[in-house]
């Protein structure tokens, strides 16, 4: 690798170096050098005796270094527990610290770059951190064995204390630290038999950040204060793709506290001594926009086009073919049976994390540092490096807590990060610039869950089970701008329909997707493809069950058995049992069930719903989850509770609309979200499993909308063909 990049590995790389570096990313794979290595050139690496994931202080306190950002899903607790389990550290004293950005050390083992997403924090770290913990433990054991002249096999460790029962000797991690630090770590440390776990899977695994997040001391990007720091706000165009034509900053410059006004690629930036001055300065700007390249689509028109195309009418956009994602049997051959047809419309959705997007950047000569909630540090490094002309690995990132993301902080363009870096580059001299987006900036900036349409035609046998399944999905690709373009179909647009046990149980399948290009930026939104596919599959299945005169749980069971979907069956059975499915619903309530797999995890939910003033009110939700080996049952429950609220909020109210390209929702007054009195009471039950852990941050989200729709179907026989339930 060094040979490839030779002779220069200094921080002062030129743009050309970067182009060369970026070109080499592909080529380097051929010579056995991963992109993560290349993207890490220039990074400072300085780890202690126990490697990049564990620090042990002179007081014996264990600090676990997390390569993943914590923005709510509790991964810091889970990651720390994995290390503490194998190390037999005193869990009550374990702390968590955020790793710097060094892709070759801290890459997500499933992504190849450093990043958090796809509910993978625990699953991709599972073996890596078990080995780190077990390796560190082996070092203490060997140090003690040498010191006490005892066989390694007789040394035990518990709660950060190393003991030798026969001699009665014991020592704390602190006492053994000098010797343990000198032991060569084992190459393949012996991992525990999971049956002997004493921490993982217990209620002792609780969050480490609750105190700081309850007393106001937890540090978010918004809270960063540095000497001489400037605060920036940017006037953005009203439409995607518009550019600055001209601007007049005379009035803005008169606002007390405004320091400078700059034109940057995304608009006009006002840089000020504080947030309010930046805001007032921005209000005083006069900007004329060049809208020649602007996207002027309206969402109702777009939805109409999607419906037409899915129905085989109208002219398809250029270079936009239908792409098959599941094909089985002879779709052209006529299948005898009853036909069921339906279609569904889903709107654009905003992530609307509590902390609007923001970033702190410092740019100097050959130096750049970002301090913020970075979800995919490697991509943020790459995009920063392009702007400032450095090697990506040399861009330093200090990752902070983020006030939610739900996917928003991870995009190939690093949109708000790049904007901040552009401003910091103008300011220069490593002077810190904090870019603050208002809620309005955040909500109108795009990167929405795409507007999506599904059309289905299902042929049913005499028993009411599917014989043939025709499925058409129209949506935007989420991979636009990816440095590694998808080969073939973007799977994130169809996941959940693709791979469904219902399709597996159907002899003839013709499922295709159409991904028209559009100037509206879209992005993954908590649970990604499942945000729409789970609804379509689960609500359709309930309608089919009803049509067949069968109980929705029994109907699903029959299909799962046919498909060999044993994990689906397990969560369905547990949820049905705990919800009392075989008993009538409580008076005044209607019940609906839904089951979906995402990110390797199975979730079943039974929702109790009533209509209050024509609006669904969700009471109790019984949820069963199978996510492999559970690390923290309490945080699994928390993610089910939170994921359900996030999904329910969108299902009830979530809708971004565009009128002639302008986003019509700007803040929480027009983009309604779920509030406390509207939140259901969630009960979580975990299906035991000895498999490796799978995701938990997202799988609870997509199941609630179909469960509610199915409860409404049971209540009044009405199918739900578009979301949200409550139209504005």
Using a 10 angstrom Cβ sphere, with 0-12 exposed, 13-18 middle and 19 or more buried, the burial of residue 272 is: buried
Cβ-count burial 32-67 (b if 16+ within 10 Å, e if not): ebbbbbbbbbbbeeeeebbbbbbbbeeebbbbbbbb
For another protein, the closer CB: 201 or 699: 201
Q: Does 676 bind another protein (CB under 8 A)?
A: yes
Q: Which is nearer to another protein, 179 or 577 (CB)?
A: 577
The whole-angstrom separation of Cα 335 and Cα 340 is: 13
Cα angle 341, 701, 590 (rounded to 5 degrees) comes to 65
Query: How far apart (Å, rounded) are the C-alpha atoms in residues 550 and 536?
Result: 19
Q: Which helix (H) or strand (E) holds 578?
A: helix 566-579
**Residue holding tokens 């983020």?**
402
Residues 406-465 binding another protein (CB under 8 A) are: 406, 436, 438-440
Q: Is 630 in the site for another protein (CB under 8 A)?
A: yes
The number of beta carbons lying within 10 Å of the beta carbon of residue 100 is 20
Select the span of 140-148, 160-168, 180-188, 682-690 touching another protein (CB under 8 A).
682-690
Distance CA 702, CA 527 (A): 7
Q: Which residues pair with 338 in a beta bridge?
A: 460
Closer to another protein by Cβ: residue 35 or 642? 642
Q: Among 2, 14, 167, 211, which residue sits at the site for another protein (rule: CB under 8 A)?
A: 211
User: Among 548, 687, 711, 712, which residue sits at the site for another protein (rule: CB under 8 A)?
Assistant: 687
- Taking the least distance from each CB to another protein, the nearer of 47 and 668 is 668
Q: How far is CA 322 from CA 312, 472, 513, in A?
A: 10, 9, 6
Among 185, 504, 633, 726, binds another protein (CB under 8 A): 633
* Joined tokens for residue 326: 């599941």
Q: Which stretch binds another protein (CB under 8 A): 281-289, 388-396, 559-567, 636-644?
A: 636-644
- Binding to another protein by CB under 8 A, coded x per residue (else -) over 227-246, reads ----x---------------
Look at strands 358-364 and 286-290 and give their pairing.
unpaired
Contacts with another protein, 640-659, as mask; x by CB under 8 A = -xxxxxx--x----------
Of 31, 212, 339, 554, which lies in the binding site for another protein, with binding defined by CB under 8 A?
A: 212
CA distance 399 to 17: 26
Q: How far is the CB of 648 from another protein (least distance, A)?
A: 8
Q: Is 356 in the site for another protein (CB under 8 A)?
A: yes
Task: Report the nearest approach of another protein to the CB of residue 608 (Å).
Answer: 13
Told to check if 524 binds another protein by CB under 8 A, we report: no
The token pair at 714 is 């049971």
Q: How far apart are CA 105 and CA 36, in angstroms?
A: 8
Cα–Cα distance, 150 to 169 (Å, whole number)? 10
Candidates 335, 679, 714, 719; binder of another protein (CB under 8 A) is 679
Q: Which of residues 48-77 bind another protein (CB under 8 A)?
A: 71-74
Residue 359's DSSP bridge partners are 435
Taking the least distance from each CB to another protein, the nearer of 168 and 688 is 688
Residues 526-585 that bind another protein (CB under 8 A): none
Q: Which is nearer to another protein, 71 or 465 (CB)?
A: 71
Query: Is residue 275 at the binding interface for another protein, with CB under 8 A as the rule?
Result: yes
How far apart CA 439 and CA 218 sit, in angstroms, is 21
| Candidate list 19, 29, 250, 354; residue touching another protein; CB under 8 A | 354
Candidate segments 218-226, 237-245, 308-316, 711-719, binder of another protein by CB under 8 A: 218-226
374 forms part of the interface with another protein (CB under 8 A): no
Selected from 392, 403, 552, 724, the binder of another protein by CB under 8 A is 403
Tokens, residue 69: 């950002």
Q: Interface with another protein by CB under 8 A: which range of 16-24, 245-253, 546-554, 681-689?
A: 681-689
Burial class (CB in 10 A: 0-12, 13-18, 19+), 313: exposed
By CB under 8 A, name the one of 292, 688, 716, 717 that touches another protein. Answer: 688
Task: Tell the smallest beta-carbon distance from residue 673 to another protein (Å).
Answer: 6
Q: How far is the CB of 263 from another protein (least distance, A)?
A: 25
> What is the closest distance, in whole angstroms, from the C-beta atom of residue 405 to another protein in the complex?
8
Stretch 2-41: interaction string toward another protein, x if CB under 8 A: ----------------------------------------
Nearest in space to 702 (alpha carbons), one of 529, 500, 497: 529
Site for another protein in 460-499 (CB under 8 A): none
| From candidates 198, 274, 298, 323, binder to another protein by CB under 8 A | 274
DSSP 629-666: S-S-HHHHHHHHHHHHHHHHHHHHT--B-EETTEE---
**Is the CB of 128 or the CB of 623 nearer to another protein?**
623
Which of 233, 445, 594, 638 contacts another protein by CB under 8 A?
638
SS3 85: helix
Residue 234 or 494 having the CB closest to another protein: 234
Q: What's the DSSP call for residue 528? A: T
What whole-number distance in Å separates Cα of residue 648 and Cα of residue 618? 9
Q: Which is nearer to another protein, 212 or 365 (by Cβ)?
A: 212
Question: Residues for the chain: how many in total?
Answer: 728
Residue from 111, 234, 352, 445 that binds another protein (CB under 8 A)?
352
């Amino acid at each position: 690798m060094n040979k490839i990049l030779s002779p220069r590995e200094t921080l002062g790389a030129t743009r050309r170096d970067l182009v060369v570096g970026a070109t080499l990313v592909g080529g380097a794979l051929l010579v056995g050098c991963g992109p993560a290595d290349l993207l890490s050139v220039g990074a400072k690496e300085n780890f202690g005796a126990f490697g990049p994931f564990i620090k042990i202080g002179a007081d014996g306190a264990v600090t676990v270094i997390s390569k993943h950002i914590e923005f709510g899903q509790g991964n810091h607790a889970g990651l720390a527990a994995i290390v503490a389990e194998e190390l037999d550290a005193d869990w009550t004293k374990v702390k968590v610290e955020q790793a710097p950005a060094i892709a070759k050390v801290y890459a997500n083992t499933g992504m190849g770059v450093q990043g958090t997403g796809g509910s993978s924090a625990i699953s991709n770290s599972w073996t890596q951190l078990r080995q780190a913990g077990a390796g560190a433990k082996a070092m203490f054991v060997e140090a003690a064995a040498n010191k006490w002249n005892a066989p390694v096999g007789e040394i035990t460790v518990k709660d950060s204390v190393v003991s030798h029962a026969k001699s009665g000797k014991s020592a704390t991690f602190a006492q053994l630290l000098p010797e343990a630090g000198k032991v060569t770590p084992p190459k393949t440390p012996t991992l525990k038999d999971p049956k002997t776990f004493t921490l993982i899977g217990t209620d002792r695994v609780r969050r480490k950040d609750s105190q700081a997040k309850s007393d106001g001391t937890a540090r978010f990007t918004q809270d960063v204060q540095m000497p001489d720091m400037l605060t920036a706000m940017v006037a953005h165009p009203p439409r995607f793709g518009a550019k600055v034509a001209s601007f007049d900053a005379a009035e803005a410059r008169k606002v007390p506290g405004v320091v400078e006004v700059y034109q940057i690629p995304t608009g006009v930036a006002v840089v000020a001594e504080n947030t309010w001055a930046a805001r007032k300065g921005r209000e005083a700007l006069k900007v004329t926009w060049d809208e020649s390249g602007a996207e002027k689509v309206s969402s109702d028109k777009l939805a109409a086009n999607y419906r037409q195309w899915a129905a085989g009418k109208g002219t398809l956009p250029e270079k936009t073919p239908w792409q098959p994602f599941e094909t089985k049997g002879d779709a052209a051959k006529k299948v005898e049976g009853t036909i069921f047809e339906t279609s569904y419309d889903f709107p654009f959705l905003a992530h609307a994390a509590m902390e609007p997007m923001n970033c702190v950047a410092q740019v100097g000569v050959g130096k750049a540092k970002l301090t913020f909630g970075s979800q995919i540090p490697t991509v943020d490094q790459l995009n920063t490096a392009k702007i400032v002309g450095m090697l990506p690995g040399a861009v330093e990132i200090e990752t902070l807590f983020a006030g939610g993301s739900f996917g928003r902080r991870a995009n190939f363009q690093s949109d708000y990060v790049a904007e901040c870096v552009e401003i910091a580059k103008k300011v220069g001299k490593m002077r810190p610039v904090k870019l603050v987006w208002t809620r309005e900036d955040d909500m109108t900036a795009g990167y929405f869950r795409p507007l999506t349409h599904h059309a289905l035609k299902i042929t049913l046998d005499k028993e009411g089970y599917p014989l043939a399944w025709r499925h058409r999905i129209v949506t935007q690709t989420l991979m636009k701008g990816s440095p590694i373009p998808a080969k073939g179909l973007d799977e994130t647009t169809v996941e959940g329909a693709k791979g469904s046990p219902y399709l597996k149980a159907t002899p003839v399948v013709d499922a295709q997707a159409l991904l028209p290009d559009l100037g509206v930026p879209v992005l993954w939104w908590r649970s990604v493809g499942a945000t729409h596919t789970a609804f379509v599959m689960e609500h359709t299945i309930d309608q089919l069950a009803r049509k067949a005169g069968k109980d929705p749980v029994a109907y699903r069971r029959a299909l799962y058995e046919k498909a060999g979907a044993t994990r689906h069956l397990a969560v369905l059975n547990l949820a049905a049992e705990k919800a009392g499915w075989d008993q009538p619903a409580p008076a005044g309530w209607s019940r609906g069930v839904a089951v979906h797999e995402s990110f390797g995890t199975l979730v079943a939910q039974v929702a109790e719903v009533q209509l209050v003033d024509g609006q669904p009110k969700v009471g109790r939700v019984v949820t069963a989850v199978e996510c492999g080996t559970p690390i923290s049952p309490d945080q699994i429950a928390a993610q089910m509770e939170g994921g359900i609220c996030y999904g329910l909020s969108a299902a009830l109210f979530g809708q971004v609309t565009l009128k002639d390209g302008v986003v019509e929702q700007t803040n929480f007054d027009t983009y309604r979200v779920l509030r406390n009195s509207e939140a259901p009471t969630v009960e979580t039950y975990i299906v035991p499993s000895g498999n490796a852990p799978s995701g938990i941050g997202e799988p609870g989200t997509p199941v609630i909308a179909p469960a509610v729709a199915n409860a409404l179907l049971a209540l009044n026989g009405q199918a739900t063909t578009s979301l949200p339930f409550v139209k504005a």
